[in-house]
Amino acid sequence: MNIFRYDSPLMQLLTRAADLIWLNILVLICSIPVFTFGASLSAMETVIYKILHNEDVLVTREFFKAFGRNFKQATVIWLIILVIESALAYNFYYSRQIGTSVSEAMKTAAAVLFVLVYAFMLYIFPLQAHYINKTKDIFKNAGILLIVHPIRSIIMLAVQALFIGLGVLIFFDYRFIPLLVAFGISFPWYVCACLHMPVFDKLDGIDRNGNKIAPDNYRKEESGSGEDPEEPDLDVTDEDIADDADEDDGEEEEKSGS
């Protein structure tokens, strides 16, 4: 087999790496105003979903199409998260300066809540990018997924923590900054998507290659709407997520015990 054929594993790997590099650059450019970071994450999740399902995707076109479609709701969500995380970070910093027993408890609580909100964010933007739901329902469903998929959630947090730590170390050595520009955001979120996309696939009624195995009429892409809808066509309900979680966690427990 010729390893340089366009459909060889090597060429597919290089193509995927190139897509992630360009996707990372697009996210960085579109996040310069800071308040647009949420829309950039949502657009990135849309493209990653297509890449994971082996779709022929034009990264630039799909990114900006999803960026515009999701801009309003994703920006509102991001600003909410940014305000909360900023308040928690300030509380942590202020508590360190006081240095009393009460401040130590406040510092610990702020740190735990900061990590918890970040864990919410790992589900919030994939949900926002993929499903038609009101903002409050996106937060609620993200919380459900976080609780009923603890193993996935912990692994996703560990992946993000690893890359954030590496990013901080690399930042202080200018020779490695190009690695941040190339993979600093897209790669850890891609790894996280590999973990949570099987859950979404079950909710969507599709297999790993994106082929339908059940009716599907609540994916955002089909409606083309980025608004915060008053009456979605079909919500991803709490029951859908919880039922899927029971089955999925059973499989995880079986694997861990084998």
The full DSSP string for 95-146 is: HHHH-SHHHHHHHHHHHHHHHHHHHHHHHHHHHHHHB---HHHHHHHHHHHH
pLDDT at 9: 77
Reference 55, options 26, 27, 15, 25; nearest CA is: 15
Q: How far is CA 101 from CA 90, 94, 97, 98, 105, in A?
A: 18, 13, 12, 9, 7
Instruction: Give dist(CA 81, CA 87) in Å, integer.
Output: 10
pLDDT at 209: 62
- Give the DSSP H/E element, type plus range, for residue 187: helix 186-204
Number of other residues whose CB lies within 10 A of the CB of residue 80: 15
Count the alpha carbons within 13 Å of 246 in the hemisphere toward its beta carbon. Answer: 5
Reference 182, options 163, 162, 161; nearest CA is: 163
Reference 197, options 16, 42, 44, 49; nearest CA is: 49
Count the alpha carbons within 13 Å of 2 in the hemisphere toward its beta carbon. Answer: 4
233 phi and psi, to 5 degrees?
-60, -45
Instruction: Give dist(CA 48, CA 120) in Å, integer.
Output: 19
Q: In Å, how far from its chain's centre is CA 49?
A: 10
Beta bridge partners of 131: 219
pLDDT in tens, the chain (258 residues): 566 666 677 788 888 899 999 999 999 999 999 999 999 999 999 999 999 988 888 999 999 999 999 999 999 999 999 999 999 999 888 887 776 777 788 888 999 999 999 999 999 999 999 998 999 999 999 999 999 999 999 999 999 998 888 877 777 777 777 877 888 899 999 999 999 988 888 888 776 665 666 544 445 654 444 444 443 333 455 555 555 555 555 554 444 444
Instruction: Give dist(CA 227, CA 229) in Å, integer.
Output: 6
Angle among Cα 19, 24, 27 to the nearest 5 degrees reads: 125
